[in-house]
């Protein structure tokens, strides 16, 4: 467990350093960003350089940055002129809500579709496959617009924007969850079908197990392994997709903060978002390792 | 308990009886806006589109009419000394900030002095308040401002969001002064009570408001009791929210949706040209090929601006003929129809300038170099489909004159780098300053802060300086006309394209929507009401 913690910290340090270097190498001058679209004069620039400590050697600025990070100080946003920690704190909740809801939607849809269609007639499989393919290949932006046009603008079932109440969460969670359902559905069905062809199913059937019980109790467990492996990809998709989904639906959250920060080259905010993503990634992969052991007893035995 | 009831009843009745019938109405409005504020502190205001929010919460000292003249607001009268160095303001004595503190001369002085705090707003301190020397309290409601040199734009400053009056108490106590928010309070018709980044901003009516600007349509508190602005950056989503009744007003109506809104009998559309400069291409005159005036003129002749605007904006854009927008009192209309759309002339000019040969792709070549011009634009500032506009112009100049026009849309840092290193030939820009003189002072003088044409003409510098120092509007108009003639006609350093505009679409039941007369952007919600 201590080893894992060490690896996690190393990954975080690498992420912090990589984002620092990447933004350093990006073209343009930080002072220009801080000046904004307004007019600048040498006096204004000098004032900004002094205020933000931009005249210190790069390595000093980097070490100061790491030192502040260690103390939980994420710095101050160039654009919004307030603490990055404060910005993230207010935006974390809505994004967590959205991504969790989207993940749940994706997993639930994939599970239902896979269980219903696995090993069934060609026609049903074909239809499910086609639907999955569409949900994966159509950009989330378009999925979102279509969902809005039908269920919000035309039918009026759900509000377009805001984060008040569970109703406002339905369409964004669907827009973000559908592509995940598409990929997971395919993988899960493939896994189920492979599992159903394994020798143990013959024994199970011989014991008089119904087909439904067989799928639910035995095959599903086998099919879950590749799905869990995919969860890493899945986390990335959710974090990336949140940017588009939040902007489209006018929801608060890290996505729109990240977008504003990247286009405005607001370095402290960009770096904090990168770090946060790394933390989420490290946490998820640790949890996955634990999940493998629960799902597959063979892994437990090995170690 | 029973004995208390009559007393309570009396109190309740008294509370009901005090306000006029108008204010008892409880009405709320949902309005979808495109742009998120970077700050809600009026003195740090930077986005023209956020004026509608700023003036809900804050009042300025003066207001400005469309013709460029100034009217009373929190200052009921003002006097400028003959030498243009002393401004004496007589303030209203009946104004209270939202936190209950009194608005007076000391408050105005505190607001002005705030700009002198190092790092507070260095840009305003260096540009708009360059001439500011000191403010003195003469009596509780009279203030004297002394300038170091005459500045015709000082009254414009007093009518801008920068002069939005903030309670001195909250200037000291606000949790986050730079960002503003509910604890930075003003005297405006609405009180900010909730801001959710990325989602919405919510105001409630200030029940004791009775000091609207001179041009307001009514007196007393605002009609609406609550107003929620929702941030919906996607144009299609804003329009959908409006047509489905989830919001009653939207701003930023894309050209592609204008006809849909016009056809809907329940909706009304209003548009207003912005003040400031027109969206124009500025030619970099410091190196080839635009150091040659013939090439600059050829580029303008090669484009059929009307056709391009029609295809990109579907007939909703207003063509520009000068750097100065049509809405400004200083607009020189004699420039209309003086150039453009003459393909034969464009080709003749380019032949004359030595760009005679053509390469395999049909582009003109001189000394083995292709006639390439690059535009570098910063993505956060690309709006109004200006990327599509550039592509349309690209196709036209290629076809009609063999010019290779390359358009690059990049992040702010890369754009700034290209500008610093002089790696561009063309630069697109518009500015929303309420007095266009402020914009011209930045763009045209040899040492202008955003002089990206690298054009220098001592005569033009002198005209601009003289116009800044005089407050005689007629004289300023004459001087700015000379400046426009020089830049647009005589030297062709600029290619004006269209005058930016703002649009509001709303349900017919919403009345009193209008545009800020000084900027042309949507006005605050003070006069807005629902119903007849």
Answer whether B143's CB lies under 8 Å from B136's CB: yes
Q: Identify from A51, A89, A91, A161 which residue to disrupt to test chain B contact, counting B C-beta atoms within 10 A and taking the largest count.
A: A161
Please report the pLDDT score of residue B186 as a whole number: 96
Backbone angles phi, psi at A165, to 5 degrees: 80, 160
Q: Is pLDDT above 80 for B81?
A: yes
The Cα B147–Cα B129 span in angstroms is 9
Is residue B8 less than 8 Å (CB to CB) from chain A? no
The token duo for B326 is: 């049509």
Our CA angle for B138, B142, B147, nearest 5°, is 75
| A233-279 pLDDT, tens digit each | 787 788 888 888 888 888 888 888 888 887 777 778 888 888 888 88
Residue A1 has pLDDT above 70, yes or no: no
- For the stretch A49-90, pLDDT in tens is 776 777 788 888 888 888 888 888 888 887 777 788 888 888
Confidence category of residue A116, pLDDT binned at 50, 70, 90: confident
C-alpha B521/C-alpha A135 separation (Å) is 41
Question: pLDDT: is A220 or A97 the higher one?
Answer: A97
Rounded to an integer, what distance in angstroms lies between the CA atom of residue B480 and that of residue B335?
A: 13
Does position B225 have pLDDT exceeding 90, yes or no?
Answer: yes
Query: Lowest-confidence range among A263-272, B146-155, B335-344?
Result: A263-272
Q: What is the mean pLDDT of chain B?
A: 89
- A6 burial via Cβ count (<10 Å: 0-12, 13-18, 19+): exposed
B245 pLDDT more than 80: yes
ipTM: 0.80
Residues of A in contact with B412 (CB under 8 A): 28, 32-33, 263-265
Task: Provide CB contacts within 8 A for A290, sequence distance 6+.
Answer: none
β-strand partners of B504 = B251, B270
Assess contact for B165 and B74: CB atoms under 8 A.
Answer: yes
Given this model, what pLDDT does residue A191 score? Answer: 81
Name the pLDDT band for B1 (thresholds 50, 70, 90): very low
- For residue B138, report the phi and psi dihedrals to the nearest 5 degrees: -90, -40
Please name the member of A39, A86, A263 whose beta carbon is closest to the beta carbon of B442: A39
Q: Which of A226-240, B1-15, B488-502 has the highest mean pLDDT?
A: B488-502
Query: What distance in Å separates the CA atoms of residue B35 and residue B267, rounded to the nearest whole number?
Result: 22
Closest-CA distance of chain A to residue B423, Å:
13
- Contacts with A, B 32-61, CB within 8 Å: 32, 36, 38-39, 44, 46
Compute CA distances B325 → A12, B329, B496, whole Å: 52, 9, 9
Question: CB atoms < 10 A from the CB of A28, how many?
Answer: 21
Nearest to A37 among B119, B233, B381 (CB): B381
Considering CB atoms only, which of A39, A87, A262 is closest to B449?
A39
Find the length of chain A.
Answer: 303
Helix (H, G, I), strand (E, B) or coil at A195: helix
In whole angstroms, give the CA distance from residue B182 to residue B40.
9
CA distance readout (Å), B328 to B169, B323, B388: 37, 11, 27
* SS (HEC) of B265-283: CCEEEEEEECCCECEEEEE
- In the three-class reduction of DSSP (H, G, I as helix; E, B as strand; rest coil), residue A137 is classed as helix
What is d(CA B247, CA B261) in angstroms, rounded to the nearest whole number?
A: 14
Backbone angles phi, psi at A90, to 5 degrees: -75, -20
Distance of CA A12 to the CA centre of its chain: 17
Closest CA to B88 of B139, B29, B28: B139
Contact state of A263 with B412 under an 8 Å Cβ cutoff: yes
Give the B window 392-421 contacts with A, CB below 8 Å: 411-417, 420
B3 burial class (0-12, 13-18, 19+ CB within 10 angstroms)? exposed
Element (H or E) spanning B241, and its range? Answer: helix B235-243
Q: How far, in Å, CA of B243 to CA of B184, rounded?
A: 35
The backbone torsions φ and ψ at residue B281, rounded to the nearest 5 degrees and listed phi first, read -90, 130
Tokens of A74: 């994420």
Q: Provide, as residue numbers in chain B, all residues whose Cβ is less than 8 Å from the Cβ of A142.
A: none
| DSSP bridge partners of B144 | B88, B136
> What does the radius of gyration of chain B's CA atoms come to, in whole angstroms?
26
Q: At what angle do helices A167-196 and A84-117 cross, to 10 degrees?
A: 50
Out of A262-276, B88-102, B244-258, the most confident range is B88-102
- Quick one: CA dihedral A150, A152, A157, A161, positive or negative? positive
pLDDT tens, A4-14? 778 878 888 88
d(CA B291, CA B294): 9
A26 interaction partners in chain B (CB closer than 8 Å)? 411, 413-414
Instruction: Give the range among A10-24, B37-51, B427-441, B463-477 with minimum mean pLDDT.
Output: A10-24
């Amino acid at each position: 467990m201590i080893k894992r913690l060490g690896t996690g910290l190393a990954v975080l340090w690498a992420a912090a350093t990589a984002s620092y270097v990447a933004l350093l190498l990006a073209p343009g001058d930080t002072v220009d960003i801080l000046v904004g679209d307004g007019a600048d004069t040498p006096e204004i620039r000098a004032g900004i350089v002094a205020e933000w400590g931009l005249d210190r050697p790069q390595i000093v600025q980097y070490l100061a940055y790491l030192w502040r990070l260690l103390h939980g100080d994420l710095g101050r946003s160039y654009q919004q002129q307030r603490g990055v920690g404060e910005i993230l704190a207010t935006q974390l909740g809505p994004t967590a809500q959205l991504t969790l809801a989207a993940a749940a939607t994706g997993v639930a849809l994939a599970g239902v579709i896979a269980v219903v269609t696995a090993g069934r007639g060609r026609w049903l499989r074909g239809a499910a496959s086609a639907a999955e393919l569409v949900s994966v290949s159509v950009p989330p932006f378009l999925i979102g617009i279509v969902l809005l046009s039908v269920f919000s603008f035309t039918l009026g079932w759900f509000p377009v924007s805001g984060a008040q109440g569970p109703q406002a969460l339905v369409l964004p969670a669907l827009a973000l969850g559908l592509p995940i359902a598409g990929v997971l559905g395919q993988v899960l069905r493939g896994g189920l079908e492979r599992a159903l062809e394994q020798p143990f199913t013959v024994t199970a059937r011989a014991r008089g197990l119904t087909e439904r019980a067989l799928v639910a109790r035995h095959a599903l467990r086998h099919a879950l392994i590749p799905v869990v492996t995919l969860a890493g990809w899945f986390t990335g998709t959710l974090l990336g997709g949140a940017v588009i989904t939040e902007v489209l639906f006018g929801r608060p959250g890290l996505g729109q903060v990240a977008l504003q920060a990247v286009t405005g080259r607001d370095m402290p905010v960009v770096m904090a978002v990168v770090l946060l993503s790394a933390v989420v990634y490290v946490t998820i992969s640790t949890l996955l390792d634990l999940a493998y052991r629960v799902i597959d007893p063979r892994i437990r035995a090995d170690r | 308990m029973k004995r208390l009831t009559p007393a309570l009843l009396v109190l309740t009745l008294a509370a009901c009886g005090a306000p006029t019938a108008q204010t008892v109405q409880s009405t709320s409005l949902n309005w979808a806006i495109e742009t998120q504020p970077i700050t809600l502190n009026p003195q740090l205001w930077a986005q023209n589109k956020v004026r509608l929010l700023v003036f809900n919460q804050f009042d300025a000292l003066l207001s400005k009419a469309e013709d460029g003249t100034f009217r009373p607001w929190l200052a009921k009268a003002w006097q400028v000394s003959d030498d243009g160095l002393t401004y004496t303001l007589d303030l209203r004595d009946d104004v209270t900030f939202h936190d209950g503190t009194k608005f007076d001369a000391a408050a105005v002085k505190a607001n002005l002095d705030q700009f002198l705090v190092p790092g507070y707003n260095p840009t305003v301190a260096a540009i708009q308040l360059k001439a500011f020397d000191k403010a003195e309290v003469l009596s509780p409601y009279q203030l004297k401002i002394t300038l170091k040199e005459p500045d015709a734009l000082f009254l414009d400053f007093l009518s801008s969001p920068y002069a939005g009056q903030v309670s001195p108490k909250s200037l000291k106590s606000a949790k986050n002064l730079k960002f503003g928010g509910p604890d930075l309070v003003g005297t405006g018709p609405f009180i900010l009570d909730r801001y959710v980044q990325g989602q919405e901003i919510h105001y409630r009516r200030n029940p004791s408001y009775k000091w609207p600007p001179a041009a307001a349509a009514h007196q007393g508190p605002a009609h609406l009791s609550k107003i929620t602005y929702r941030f919906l950056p996607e144009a299609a989503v804003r329009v959908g929210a409006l047509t489905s009744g989830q919001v009653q007003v939207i701003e930023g109506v894309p050209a592609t949706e204008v006809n849909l809104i016009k056809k809907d009998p329940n909706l009304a559309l209003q548009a207003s040209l912005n003040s400031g400069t027109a969206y124009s291409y500025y030619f970099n005159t410091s190196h080839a090929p635009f150091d040659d005036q013939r090439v600059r003129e050829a580029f303008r002749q090669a484009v059929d601006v009307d056709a391009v605007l029609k295809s990109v904006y579907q007939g909703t854009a207003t063509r520009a003929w000068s750097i100065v927008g049509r809405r400004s009192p200083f607009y020189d209309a004699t420039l209309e129809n003086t150039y453009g759309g003459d393909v034969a002339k464009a080709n003749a000019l380019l032949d004359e300038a030595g760009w005679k040969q053509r390469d395999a792709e049909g582009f003109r070549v001189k000394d083995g170099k292709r006639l390439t011009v690059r535009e570098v634009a910063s993505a956060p500032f690309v709006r109004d489909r200006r990327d599509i506009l550039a592509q349309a112009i690209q196709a036209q100049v290629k076809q009609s004159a063999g010019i290779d026009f390359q358009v690059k849309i990049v992040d702010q840092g890369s754009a700034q780098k290209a500008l610093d290193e002089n790696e561009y030939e063309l630069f697109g820009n518009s500015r929303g300053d309420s007095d266009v003189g402020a914009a011209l002072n930045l763009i045209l003088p040899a040492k202008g802060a955003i002089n990206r044409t690298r054009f220098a003409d001592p005569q033009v510098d002198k005209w601009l300086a003289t116009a800044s120092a005089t407050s005689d509007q007629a004289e300023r108009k004459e001087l700015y006309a000379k400046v426009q003639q020089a830049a647009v006609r005589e030297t062709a350093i600029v290619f004006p394209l269209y005058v930016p505009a703002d649009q509001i679409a709303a349900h017919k039941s919403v009345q009193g929507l209008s545009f800020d007369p000084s900027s042309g952007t949507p006005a605050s919600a003070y006069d807005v009401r629902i119903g007849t």
